């Protein structure tokens, strides 16, 4: 299975990518998680990326494309992958096309997570994440841990810096300007499928599996 998860901030791409990657034993490649790890480790890339991320802007294409190019060469990507949060601009999509073509890889689907702005803002304001294992929770969801600690590793959950209201507004604007044009890009290629991402999480999962055939043909 080789898929792209496309959609606005807070639509649930990361939540579903974690579940599907675990279920099918494929790589979950989240450019947001990779960048946050660089920020935590204070690498040169992390220091530069932080400036963009904290203000809700996109990190420059060249940096992201190189980061993904290296990631896709790793062994675990060979079985299949979900690209979560990449590509995010037409330039990134074109670079990915080149990259996949040179490796003889064909995408199975580009999944568009469709949700209204009210849902997105509510989800982002309630999101808490584990700074250790990147697990995602939401204070508005029933399964939110009562002690504010990660169910996997017990670490105290935190709010992402870019989930503050003014940064969220900026991220939504950037999405409309830079990323929404990718819907037409992939529609033209014929591999875009849309799911109603405002549904309850398990329903979204079922919808994706239904639309993608729910099979693991990556071996």
CA distances from 26 to 18, 30, 114, 160 (A): 10, 13, 24, 26
The residue annotated as part of the active site, out of 2, 71, 123, 171, is 171
13 assigned to active site: yes
**160 catalytic residue (yes or no):** yes
Residues from 154 through 183 that contact ligand AP5 (CB under 6 A): 162, 171
Between CA 197 and CA 6 the distance in angstroms is 11
What's the token pair of residue 160? 């992402």
Judged by CB under 6 A, the chain residues 2 through 41 that form the site for ligand AP5 are: 7, 9-15, 31-32, 35
Give the phi and the psi of residue 194 in degrees, each rounded to 5: -115, 140
Cα distance between residue 92 and residue 137, in whole Å? 29
Decide: 56 and 171 in contact? Cβ < 8 Å: yes
Q: Which of residues 133-152 bind ligand AP5 (CB under 6 A)?
A: 136-138, 141
- Report 47-66 residues binding ligand AP5 (CB under 6 A): 52-53, 56-59, 64
Among the candidate windows 40-48, 74-82, 84-92, 95-103, which touches ligand AP5 by CB under 6 A? 84-92
Asked whether position 204 contacts ligand AP5 by CB under 6 A, the answer is: yes
The angle at the Cα of 75, spanning 218 to 134, to the nearest 5 degrees, equals 90
- Active site (annotated) includes residue 88: yes
Contact set with ligand AP5 (CB under 6 A): 7, 9-15, 31-32, 35, 52-53, 56-59, 64, 85-86, 88, 92, 123, 126-127, 136-138, 141, 162, 171, 199-201, 204
Q: Which residues are catalytic?
A: 13, 88, 127, 160, 171
């Amino acid at each position: 299975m080789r898929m792209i998860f496309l959609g606005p901030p807070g639509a649930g791409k990361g939540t579903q990518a974690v579940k599907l990657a675990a279920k099918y034993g494929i790589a979950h490649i989240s450019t947001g998680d990779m960048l946050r790890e660089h920020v935590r480790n204070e690498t040169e890339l992390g220091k530069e990326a932080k400036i963009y991320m904290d203000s809700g802007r996109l990190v420059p294409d060249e940096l992201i494309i190189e980061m993904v190019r290296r990631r896709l060469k790793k062994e675990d990507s060979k079985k299949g992958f979900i690209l979560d949060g990449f590509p995010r601009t037409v330039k990134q999509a074109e670079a990915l096309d080149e990259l996949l073509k040179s490796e003889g890889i064909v995408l199975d689907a580009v999944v568009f997570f469709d949700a209204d702005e009210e849902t997105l803002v509510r989800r982002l304001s309630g999101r808490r994440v584990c700074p250790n294992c990147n697990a995602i929770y939401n204070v508005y969801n029933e399964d939110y841990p009562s002690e504010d600690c990660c169910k996997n590793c017990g670490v105290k959950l935190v709010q992402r810096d870019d989930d503050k209201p003014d940064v969220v507004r900026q991220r939504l604007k950037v999405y409309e300007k830079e990323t929404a044009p990718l819907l037409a890009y992939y529609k033209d290629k014929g591999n875009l499928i849309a799911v109603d991402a405002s549904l309850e999480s398990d329903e979204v999962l079922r919808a994706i599996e239904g639309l993608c055939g729910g099979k693991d043909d990556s071996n």
